[in-house]
A = this chain, B = another copy of it.
């Protein structure tokens, strides 16, 4: 446990379980049960839930408890819209300042990504994707925007995980685009990298919308929630 406070570590664990799908979307998160599960009191659990609500992963209704934020096409679209508005700006600021160590770490992430791709380990993909994107923006010196994009990436991972259970071809395309973005950044072609990033996010959005619209269920929200 690297977190100094219990609320922080509990929050990190709950976040992980939400992203893993261990706590399904829309399910109630009872403070008492969580407290018993973590061997703690309800107060650090409450604080963890508040933090997760700020990140958008949990919804809290006063006197009615907390639930895992439901998945809806509208919210996925909004999250991807925000990513499309913010990430290119961050990349434009950060790319010229990326160091050799940063690119080395990016290569490592890309290799891990490819390994997970061959192994079919979709569980690792979400974290790797988030780490790569945040690494590319890390030199922008925009801490608030960076934290916000981190939350958005986590939220998008929840939807992408659904999508990947039926369609794995998107992963290869994402891998190619990631490699190309890194390559363009390394060679100093910042504006080209940003343009490709815009396409990348737009394509993820389009594919996800197509998937959410053509889901096996009859109605969209019913299938997802």
A: residues with CB less than 8 A from B are: 4-5, 8, 43, 46-47, 50-51, 53-54, 56, 62-63, 74-75, 78-79, 81-82, 85-86, 89, 141-145, 148
Q: Which residues of B contact A4 (CB under 8 A)?
A: 62-63
User: In the complex, A63→B6 CA distance in Å?
Assistant: 11
Where chain A touches its partner, the secondary structure class is helix
Chain B residues near A143 (CB, 8 Å)? 78
Q: Please, how many angstroms separate the alpha-carbon atoms of A79 and B148 in the complex?
A: 12
- Give the shortest distance, in Å, between A88 (CB) and chain B (any CB): 10
Chain B nearest CB from A45 CB (Å) reads: 12
CB nearest neighbor in B for A85: B85
Measured CA separation A81–B89 after assembly (Å): 10
A144 touching B82 by the CB < 8 A rule? yes
Q: Given A43-B43, A47-B47, does the pair A78, B145 have CB atoms closer than 8 Å?
A: yes
Pick from B5, B75, B148: contact of A148, CB below 8 A: B148
Given the interface pairs A5-B63, A8-B62, A89-B85, the reply to whether A78 lies near B142 with Cβ below 8 Å is yes
Q: Report Cα–Cα, A86/B62, bound state, in Å.
A: 29
Closest 10 CB pairs of A and B: A54-B54, A4-B62, A50-B50, A5-B62, A85-B85, A78-B142, A78-B144, A47-B50, A82-B145, A85-B89
Task: Find chain B residues with CB under 8 A from A86 CB.
Answer: 82, 85
Query: Closest approach, in angstroms, between the C-beta of A80 and any C-beta of chain B?
Result: 11
Nearest CB in chain B to that of A63: its residue:
B4
